[in-house]
Structure 1
C-alpha cells in the first residue's frame, strides 16, 4: 500500500492508495474509508465481497444493514493486467456523464488501481427475472434512455467496436508469442491469422448494415443490471467497456447474455417473440427520449431485429477474443477458455443464417 496523499485528476478526487491483490486489502480499504467517510466508526464498518465479476474484485462497505443502508461505498480493485485493454479514464468520464443523466451511480473517487462509487439498492438479475416482461421492458427503456445521451462536446462520435476488437486481436497475438498454448479447439480459429481474416470479413459484411452510433454499456450481463422492485426501476452498473458504439451491438450483447456465463447454453437465447416485444418497448422509449413523435411500426421493429441479429455475430467475436486474453492474464478462477470456445462456436454456427437475413 502506498501513501494517502490526495489529489485531483481532471478535477476529480484521486487518492494515492494502491490495494495489492496478494495482500489482505482490509487496511487499504480502511484508509480509503477514513477519507471518504470520516464520520464512520471503524468498529461499525462491515464489508461484503461480491463474487459475480470476471474482471475485478468488488467489496461493499457500510454500517448498519446492507439492504436498508442508504450509504454503501463500493470499492472496486481492477483485475490483473486489465489496463492492457481497458481505458480507465474513459470509464470514469462515462460514469460522470451517466450520473448527470440519473442513469448511473455516483463516483466517489479513484485510487491507484481502482475506484470507489455508490451502491445502487436492488438485486442483480438472474435468468428468470431477465425473462419477466415487466423487468425486460424496464431494461429496454433504460437502455433506450442511455442511447440518447449525447457527447458533452457535441461531436459526432465514432463507434469503438473495430478499434477495440483489433486491439484485442493484437493482445491475443502477443499472448501467443509469449508461449501461450493453442487456445481454441475450432479448426477455423487455430491461428491468429485465421482470426484476423475472419475479423476483416466480419467488418466487411457488417459495413453496409446501418446502426447508429450511441452511448453504449457494451457489457450488459444480468449481473450488471440492478432491479429495484420497490421503485420499479432498473439501473446498469460496471461501465468498464462503456463507450460510443453501434446501437445494435449493445442490444445483441444483452440477448447473448441470456445464454449464461458459467454454463453457457444457447437454448436459453430469447425467443423471437420476446425479442420483438423487447425491441418494441425499446424503440418507443428511444423515440420518446429523442424528442420525436414517431409512431413505432412493426416494420421498424422487424428492421431493428434483423440488424441486431447481424451484430450478434460481432458480440460473439468480441467476447471470444476477450476470453482468450483473460485466460492468459486473469487471476480470477474462471474457465475463460471454455467460454472463448462457446462464443466462437456460436459465431460460426449462426454466421450464415444471420448474414442471410
Structure 2
C-alpha cells in the first residue's frame, strides 16, 4: 500500500530556480523569475497584480500589456506552511493533474514558492456552486479527478489519519497574546477532548468502505474556475492533493457551501440537492472507470451516508489546521475564530451525521 503520488515518466520536468521572493518586497524576486520564464518581457513593462483570496499563501500575477492574456502566477508560500503541506507531493500532484488535462502548466518551483499558468474564467462564490449547470459540472470534474490512476500498481491508502495526527501534535497550547490565549481556553475544545474525537472519527469512518482515490482535498469556491464560454470548470490549488477517501473530498466540498469570509452553515446542502449532485457524480465516475453509467438508488444512498459522515472529518481537519495557522501565519485572517467555527459545526453536525446508516 502507498499514499504517495506516482508521476508518469512522460510528464515534463519542472525546473527549480534558485530565487527567494520576499512577500513584503516581491518585485525584485518576481522579476528574476520572469527573466527565466519570460525572457522576452522587458522588466519595466512587467505589471504585477496581487490576488487576495488565499489564506495560506500570497499570490501574484505577472503580465505585460493592457489585457491579462499571458499571465504567470507566482505563489509565495505562507510562513511555516511546510508544517502543514508536503511541497514535494504538491508538485507531483500538479504534474499528474496536468498530464490528465485537469490542471494548468507548472512552469517552475523556486525557493519559497512556484509559478504556474493562469486559467481564464471566474473564481466562484458560494451562490454559484449551488446553481445549475455549475454544480453538475463540478460533480463531473471531481469524478474525473477521482478516476485518475496515479499509484503505479500499489493499492493506494489515505494519509488522512496520519496527517491529522501530525496536526494534533502541532496545535498551540497557548498564545503570547492574552486575549487570544483566553479565547483558546474558553472557546476551543481541550486537547483531551480533541484526541477522543480524532480516535472516534478514525474508528467510525475508516470502516465505511469509501474508496481511496486521488483527491483535491480543498475544493472551496475560490478554487473552482468557471469558464462560461467553454462551459467547463477547472480546479486550482493542489497543495492538499493526495490519496484520500472519496467521501471526504465530496463532504469537504459540501462544507464549503457555507463560504469562507462570512461563514453560514445554513447553506450546507440539503438531502434532495445532495442526491442530485451525487447522482451526477456517480454517473461520471462510473463512466471514467469503464463501468457504464447506470447508477442505482442504493449506490447514491450509500455515498450520501459516507459523505455526510466524512464531512465531520473535514470540519475537524480544518479546525486543527486553523489552530496551527493562528500560531504561525502572517496573513491577516482570524484563524482562531475560524477554528472555533469549524469545531462548533463539527459538534453540531455529529449526532445527526453519526446516526446515518448505510443501506442493507
TM-score scaled by length of structure 1: 0.92
Q: Distance in 2 between matches of 1:306 and 1:283?
A: 14
Once the two structures are superposed, residues 123-166 of structure 1 have per-residue CA deviations (whole angstroms, 9 ceiling, x without a partner) of 10012211112001000000000001112522111102101101
Contact 1:287 1:293 in 2 (8 A): yes
- Structure 2 SS opposite 1:176: coil
What is aligned with 2:198? 199
Once the two structures are superposed, residues 93-140 of structure 1 have per-residue CA deviations (whole angstroms, 9 ceiling, x without a partner) of 000000000001110000000000011100100122111120010000
Q: What displacement does 1:80 show?
A: 0.5
What is aligned with 2:318? 319
Return the match for 1:176 from 173, 178, 195.
173
Once the two structures are superposed, residues 1-40 of structure 1 have per-residue CA deviations (whole angstroms, 9 ceiling, x without a partner) of xxxxxxxxx953001101123x411011011001100011
- Structure 1 SS opposite 2:62: strand
- Structure 1 SS opposite 2:294: coil
- Structure 2 SS opposite 1:133: coil
What is aligned with 1:57? 58
Q: Distance in 2 between matches of 1:307 and 1:255?
A: 13
Q: Distance in 2 between matches of 1:105 and 1:160?
A: 25
What is aligned with 1:97? 96
1:241 aligned onto 2:240: yes
Q: Distance in 1 between matches of 2:183 and 2:215?
A: 30
Gaps of 5+ in 2: 1-11
Q: Distance in 1 between matches of 2:285 and 2:276?
A: 14
Q: What displacement does 1:273 show?
A: 1.9
- Structure 2 SS opposite 1:208: coil
Q: Which runs of 4+ in 1 moved over 3 A?
A: 177-180, 182-187
Contact 1:186 1:345 in 2 (8 A): no
Contact 2:14 2:106 in 1 (8 A): no
- Structure 2 SS opposite 1:262: coil
1:12 aligned onto 2:14: yes
Q: What displacement does 1:337 show?
A: 1.2
Distance 1:307 1:265, change over 3 A: same
What is aligned with 2:6? none
Q: Distance in 1 between matches of 2:284 and 2:293?
A: 11
- Structure 1 SS opposite 2:200: helix
Count of equivalent residues: 342
- Structure 2 SS opposite 1:168: helix
Q: What displacement does 1:190 show?
A: 3.5
Greater RCO (Cα-Cα under 8 Å, separation 6 or more): 2
Q: What displacement does 1:282 show?
A: 0.3
Contact 1:183 1:324 in 2 (8 A): no
What is aligned with 2:36? 35
Q: What displacement does 1:207 show?
A: 2.7
Once the two structures are superposed, residues 308-331 of structure 1 have per-residue CA deviations (whole angstroms, 9 ceiling, x without a partner) of 011010001000001111111100
TM-score scaled by length of structure 2: 0.91
Q: Distance in 1 between matches of 2:253 and 2:196?
A: 26
- Structure 1 SS opposite 2:30: helix
